[in-house]
Amino acid sequence: MPYKVTYFNVTALAEPIRFLLSYLNEDFEDNRFERELWPTLKPNMPFGKVPIVEIDGKVLNQSTAITRYLAKKAGLAGKDDWESLLIDISVDNIHDLRQALASYSYDPDEESKQKKYDPLIKETIPFYMKKFESIVTENNGYFVNGKLSWADLFFVSIMDYLNYMAGFDLLKEYPKLQALKASVVAIPQIKAWIAKRPNTI
Amino acid sequence: MPYKVTYFNVTALAEPIRFLLSYLNEDFEDNRFERELWPTLKPNMPFGKVPIVEIDGKVLNQSTAITRYLAKKAGLAGKDDWESLLIDISVDNIHDLRQALASYSYDPDEESKQKKYDPLIKETIPFYMKKFESIVTENNGYFVNGKLSWADLFFVSIMDYLNYMAGFDLLKEYPKLQALKASVVAIPQIKAWIAKRPNTI
């Protein structure tokens, strides 16, 4: 197997990579470790973080860069530099929502965390979700360029993680985004991956 | 002028774009606004953030996606998908350091902010800077692929901003990174840009 994905036993930041490898019909080693092993593993990671992916023995970090690379192989990265630009913008807009959720969810200071809750739930989440719903409505049911791209796979692959951090189903008021999710999880390779993957957040 | 860059009157996240446009010898409108105007401007931004860039009248956000697009035009994005991947990884590693600095620098909760100071100064900054110094040493004086790429321009373009957030010169103990900075700011188009740009953080 030329690909080995190493991460915690969750979807989160490794799932875009797992989605793309599945989409490509690549047989990959899905190497998951339990949280208590992390302090032992961390010093061996290229930048002290996971996921990492080994491609032909070369160890790589940075999940979004790796996902983009796989998306090019899959023909999901745009037909030219302009389309690729618009896809990259969509992905980074989704990352901004993810980071707002993570900034709340991982805040170790309880008082600071509580201060973030109301703006997150009442402002940030509705702001992004309404924008995304409107963008997908205008783009033929996809995030960008009127067709399937890795921005769609990226979004759907991290939804469980985003919902976990938010504490509720972010898609519940957004029918176009629900339809996008349904169409992505119906792609045969993605459907097969979801059926066989471990049942985790 | 086909390019218009809109941002606060600082280097920070717009400077990679300004560096790439300068490198490309593109004449661009450097549209800066003062901080007190931001509440009025924010609702008109595609995702409530800046920088934005207008290219032939189309309004785009997400500075890194835009910088990557310009880097492709400049021949600074790698000779193939593998080189592009390694460049994207380098850029995102630099972003991780930037975000650690920003998480401290922009923390509105004074107590939470103070708790971040020691780990940032004693652990995170030395960790990243030593890694970067070692990577540049192994890559012929550049971040990746043994030659100039947009990862180098990106790093040098945001150094003033990183130093401002850290409160000291991050490069002071790292001669190879200092040499990289010296070589990037000596590129004639970059040198000319730095000479004519507003003198700000």
Contact flag B93-A47 (C-beta cutoff 8 Å) = yes
d(CA A58, CA A45): 12
Query: A166-189 burial by CB neighbour count: b if 16+ within 10 A, else e?
Result: beeebbeebebbeebbeebeebeb
Q: Give contacts of A89 with chain B, Cβ < 8 Å.
A: 60-62, 65-66
Partners of B32 in the β-ladder: B7
Position B112 pLDDT exceeds 90: no
How many contacts (CB atoms, under 8 Å) link A and B? 80
Residues of B at the A interface (Cβ-Cβ below 8 Å)? 47-49, 60-62, 64-66, 68-69, 72-73, 81-82, 84-85, 88-89, 91-93, 96, 103, 107-109, 111-112, 115, 127-128, 131
Confidence of residue A148 (pLDDT cuts 50, 70, 90): very high
| 3-state SS string for A83-144 | HHHHHHHHHHHHHHHHHHHHHHHCCCCHHHHHHHHHHHHHHHHHHHHHHHHHHHHHCCCCCC
Q: For residue A197, give every residue at least 6 positions away whose Cβ sits within 8 Å of its Cβ, in sequence order, or none.
A: A11, A18, A30
Tokens representing residue A51 in the block? 């996921």
Residues of A at the B interface (Cβ-Cβ below 8 Å)? 47-49, 60-62, 64-66, 68-69, 72-73, 81-82, 84-85, 88-89, 91-93, 96, 103, 107-109, 111-112, 115, 127-128, 131
Residue that is written with structure tokens 């600074």 in the block: B76
Chain A: give the shortest CA distance to residue B29, in Å: 21
Chain A: give the shortest CA distance to residue B109, in Å: 6
In CATH, what class is A81-185? Answer: mainly alpha
Position A89 pLDDT exceeds 80: yes
Contact flag A88-B68 (C-beta cutoff 8 Å) = yes
Out of B65, B84, B111, closest to residue A89 by CB: B65
Distances (CA, A) of A69 to B11, B16, B85, B86: 29, 22, 6, 10
Element (H, E) at A30: strand A28-33
Position B109 pLDDT exceeds 90: no
Confidence of residue A41 (pLDDT cuts 50, 70, 90): very high
d(CA A112, CA A29): 39
Q: Does domain A3-75+188-196 have CATH number 3.90.1150.10?
A: no
Out of B62, B68, B112, closest to residue A109 by CB: B112
The answer to whether B190 and B184 are in contact (CB under 8 A) is yes
Q: In this predicted structure, which of B94-103, B107-116, B175-184 has the lowest mean pLDDT?
A: B107-116
Residue that is written with structure tokens 């990352």 in the block: A95
pLDDT for B115 equals 92
Residue that is written with structure tokens 């915690």 in the block: A8
* 3-class secondary-structure state, position A49: coil
State ipTM: 0.96
Measure the CA dihedral A81/A87/A90/A94, to 10°.
Answer: -130
Position A1 pLDDT exceeds 80: no
Q: Encode pLDDT of B2-48 as tens digits.
A: 899 999 999 999 999 999 999 999 999 999 999 999 999 999 999 99
| Closest residue in chain B to residue A102, using alpha carbons only | B103
The answer to whether A51 and A14 are in contact (CB under 8 A) is yes
Q: Give contacts of A112 with chain B, Cβ < 8 Å.
A: 107, 109, 111-112
β-strands B28-33, B3-8 pairing: parallel
pLDDT for A185 equals 98
Q: Do domains A3-75+188-196 and A81-185 have the same CATH topology?
A: no
pLDDT for B200 equals 92
Q: Give contacts of A82 with chain B, Cβ < 8 Å.
A: 69
Position A181 pLDDT exceeds 80: yes
Distances (CA, A) of A7 to A53, A96, A163, B87, B120: 9, 22, 19, 22, 24
- Looking at residues B114-130, what average pLDDT do you find? 96
Position A15 pLDDT exceeds 80: yes
In single-letter form, the type of residue at position B107 comes to: D
- Looking at residues A139-147, what average pLDDT do you find? 97
Confidence of residue A56 (pLDDT cuts 50, 70, 90): confident
Q: Phi and psi at residue B93, in whole multiples of 5°?
A: -65, -40
Tokens representing residue A71 in the block? 């998306």
Query: B100-119 burial by CB neighbour count: b if 16+ within 10 A, else e?
Result: bbbbbbebeeeebbebbeee
| 3-state SS string for B110-127 | HHHHHHHHHHHHHHHHHH
Confidence of residue B114 (pLDDT cuts 50, 70, 90): very high
pLDDT for B57 equals 85
Out of B47, B69, B131, closest to residue A96 by CB: B47
Q: For residue B13, give every residue at least 6 positions away whose Cβ sits within 8 Å of its Cβ, in sequence order, or none.
A: B7, B50, B51, B63, B158, B161
d(CA A185, CA A79): 23
Element (H, E) at B139: none
Average per-residue pLDDT for chain B: 96
Give the rounded percent of residues in chain B with a pLDDT score beyond 90: 95
- Looking at residues A25-43, what average pLDDT do you find? 97
Q: Give contacts of A66 with chain B, Cβ < 8 Å.
A: 85, 89
Give the rounded percent of residues in chain A with a pLDDT score beyond 90: 95
- Looking at residues A179-189, what average pLDDT do you find? 98
Position B56 pLDDT exceeds 90: no
Position A85 pLDDT exceeds 80: yes
More confident residue, A148 or A2: A148
The answer to whether A23 and A51 are in contact (CB under 8 A) is no
| Domain ranges across chain B | 3-75+188-196, 81-185
* 3-class secondary-structure state, position B3: strand
